[in-house]
C-alpha cells in the first residue's frame, strides 16, 4: 500500500529482528514457494512492539508457514512466554522447526499440525495475543473463536485485511468476500476498540474496551 522505498525507510528506522529470524526470512524468500505470504520485517517489528509494550506472554497463531512470524513473536516474549502456532503444511512447518531449533527462543514455540478449525476444538485456554494469518475463507470463524479466547488486556491481530486492495469490490472471489465479511463484522463489534492499518496488505488490531 506504500512505496517500497518508504517501507524500507520505515524498516531501517525500526527495531530489527534477531539473526536467526533474518536468516529464516532470506531462506524462505530464496527457496520456498509462496514466500510472499511472509509477514516481512515491518509487520514483524509491529508485532514485537505490541508484545513488549503490552508485556504479553501467551500467543496463538493461525498460519505458521516457515515459522518467521512465530519466531519474531517468540523473540519478543519473556523467557516464560509461549507461542502456539497452527498450520496444515508438514513441509513448511518442518523448515520452521529446523530454524526454531537454531534460535535460543525456539523452545517457546509449540507447533500444531492440523487444520485451524479442528485445532481450535482442542484448545481451551485464552491468550494475550491471537494472530490470524491462515486460510482466508475461515477468517470469520477464527475471529469468533478468538473473541471468546482473548485475555482481558489482549489483542487480536489479523493480517491481509485489505487483500491487495480487493476489499473495495464485492463478488471478485470467495477469499475477497470472506475478508470483506470479516472486516464488516469487526467494524460492527461492540465493546471492542479496533483499527485497520494500511501497513503492507492491511493489518487489523482488536482489543476489548
Ligand atoms: C500467510 S501464510 C502464514 C505466514 C506466517 N504467518 C509468516 O508470516 O511467517 C498462511 C499459512 O496458512 C496455512 N493454512 C492454509 N490453510 C490452513 C488451514 N485450514 N488451517 C491451518 N493453516 C492453514 C498455509 O499452509 C500457510 O502456511
3-state SS track over 63-124: CCCCCHHHHHHHHHCCCCCEEEEEECCHHHHHHHHHHHCCCCCHHHEEEEECCHHHHHHHCC
Please report the atom of ligand 1 found closest to the CA of residue 134: 12
Q: What is the pLDDT of residue 172?
A: 87
Q: Which three cell numbers, joined as nine digits, stand for 139? A: 477468517
Q: What is the pLDDT of residue 68?
A: 98
Q: What is the pLDDT of residue 175?
A: 96
Compute the distance from residue 46 Cα to the ligand 1 centre, in Å.
19
Total domain count, the chain: 1
Count of beta carbons in the 10 Å neighbourhood of residue 176:
18
Q: Quote the CA–CA distance of 179 and 186 in Å, as a whole number.
A: 10
Compute the distance from residue 91 Cα to the ligand 1 centre, in Å.
12
Residue with cell 527462543: 105
Q: What is the CATH number of the domain that holds 168?
A: 3.40.50.150
Q: Quote the CA–CA distance of 182 and 208 in Å, as a whole number.
A: 17
Q: Is the pTM above the cut of 0.95?
A: yes
- Ordered per-residue pLDDT tens for the chain, 209 residues: 789 999 999 999 999 999 999 999 999 999 999 999 999 999 999 999 999 999 999 999 999 999 999 999 999 999 999 999 999 999 999 999 999 999 999 999 999 999 999 999 999 999 999 999 999 999 999 999 999 999 999 999 999 999 999 999 998 899 999 999 999 999 999 999 999 999 999 999 999 99
- Give the residue numbers spanning the domain of 145: 4-208
Amino acid at each position: 500500500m506504500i512505496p517500497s522505498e518508504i517501507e524500507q525507510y520505515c524498516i531501517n528506522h525500526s527495531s530489527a529482528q534477531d539473526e536467526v529470524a533474518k536468516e529464516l526470512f532470506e531462506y524462505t524468500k530464496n527457496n520456498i514457494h509462496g514466500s510472499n505470504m511472509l509477514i516481512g520485517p515491518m509487520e514483524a517489528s509491529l508485532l514485537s512492539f505490541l508484545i513488549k509494550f503490552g508485556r504479553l506472554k501467551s500467543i496463538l497463531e493461525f498460519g505458521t508457514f516457515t515459522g518467521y512470524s512465530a519466531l519474531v513473536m517468540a523473540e519478543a516474549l519473556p523467557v516464560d512466554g509461549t507461542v502456539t502456532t497452527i498450520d496444515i503444511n508438514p513441509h513448511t512447518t518442518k523448515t520452521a522447526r529446523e530454524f526454531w531449533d537454531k534460535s535460543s527462543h525456539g523452545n517457546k514455540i509449540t507447533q500444531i499440525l492440523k487444520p485451524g478449525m479442528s485445532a481450535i476444538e482442542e484448545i481451551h485456554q485464552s491468550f494475550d495475543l491471537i494472530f490470524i494469518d491462515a486460510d482466508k475463507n475461515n477468517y470469520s470463524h477464527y475471529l469468533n473463536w478468538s473473541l471468546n479466547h482473548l485475555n482481558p488486556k489482549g489483542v487480536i491481530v489479523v493480517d491481509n485485511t485489505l487483500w491487495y486492495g480487493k476489499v473495495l469490490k464485492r463478488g471478485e472471489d470467495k477469499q475477497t468476500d470472506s475478508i470483506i465479511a470479516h472486516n464488516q463484522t469487526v467494524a460492527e463489534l461492540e465493546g471492542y476498540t479496533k483499527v485497520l492499518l494500511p501497513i503492507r496488505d492491511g493489518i487489523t488490531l482488536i482489543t476489548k474496551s
